[in-house]
């Protein structure tokens, strides 16, 4: 009886793993595997999997504990490293005429107007940001929770990497 239960549990683990693996992001005919992107507060480093990248602006934490990250720095690193890490294409354009940020992540289009800090457009559908954007010394910061949603994190949350004292998202 115990042997049957053990076999059943092993089969369930195998089936559960294959279901998880099928929940990958698909961009055209390519299957995309998520990568972990993380930050330390008050540190000008961005971590992508095992890689470390210097960024121009350091993330900071609000009084309520939300981590704010520099939007352009994230997109610059992701676009530069897309081939090395088998990432989607990441582009960020500042539209000065209409005061909005236009982002593309693979086939996804995101528009974030600067004058309305609580809304953005995701493939033409209006969405609300959890936290307003912050313009600090000419750099736009977005909450880690909101960047997770924009980058396609279906859980719409950020993660804390306890071992390395980093906050992160999957991209």
| Inside any domain, residue 129 | yes
- What share of the chain in percent tops pLDDT 90? 41
- Predicted TM-score of the model (pTM): 0.75
| Inside any domain, residue 131 | yes
The C-alpha atoms of residue 142 and residue 138 are separated, in whole angstroms, by: 13
Q: What is the CATH number of the domain that holds 159?
A: 3.30.457.10
Supply 21's token pair.
Answer: 């693996």
CB 15 within 8 A of CB 24: no
Residue 73's φ and ψ, nearest 5 degrees, are -60, -40
The C-alpha atoms of residue 91 and residue 103 are separated, in whole angstroms, by: 6
Write down the pLDDT at residue 171: 78
| Inside any domain, residue 116 | yes
Structural domain of residue 151, as residue ranges? 28-170
| Inside any domain, residue 140 | yes
Nearest to 146, CA basis, from 68, 47, 93: 68
More reliable by pLDDT, 12 or 79: 79
Residue 20's φ and ψ, nearest 5 degrees, are -60, -45
Number of domain units in the chain: 1
| Inside any domain, residue 50 | yes
Q: Where do runs of H (alpha helix) occur along the chain?
A: 2-22, 71-80, 144-150
pLDDT at 152 over 90: no
| Inside any domain, residue 4 | no
| Inside any domain, residue 42 | yes
pLDDT in tens, 9-39: 444 444 443 333 333 334 444 454 678 888 8
If you write DSSP's letter for every residue of 21-61 in order, what string do you get?
HH--EEETTEEE---EEEE-TT-SEEEETTEEEE-SS--EE
| Inside any domain, residue 158 | yes
């Amino acid at each position: 009886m115990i042997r049957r239960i053990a076999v059943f549990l092993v089969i369930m683990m195998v089936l559960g793993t294959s279901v998880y693996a099928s929940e990958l992001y698909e961009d055209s005919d390519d299957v995309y595997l998520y990568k972990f992107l993380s930050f330390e507060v008050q540190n000008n480093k961005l971590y992508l999997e095992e890689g470390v990248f210097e960024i121009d602006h350091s993330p900071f934490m609000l009084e309520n504990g939300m981590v704010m990250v520099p939007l352009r720095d994230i997109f610059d690193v992701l676009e530069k490293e897309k081939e090395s890490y088998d990432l989607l294409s990441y582009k960020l354009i500042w539209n000065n005429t209409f005061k909005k940020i236009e982002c593309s992540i693979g086939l996804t289009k995101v528009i974030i107007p600067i004058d309305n800090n609580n809304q953005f457009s995701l493939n033409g559908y209006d969405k609300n940001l959890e936290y307003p954007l912050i313009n600090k010394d000419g750099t736009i910061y977005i909450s880690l929770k909101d960047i997770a949603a924009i980058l396609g994190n279906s859980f719409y949350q950020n993660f804390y990497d306890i071992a390395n004292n980093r906050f992160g998202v999957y991209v």
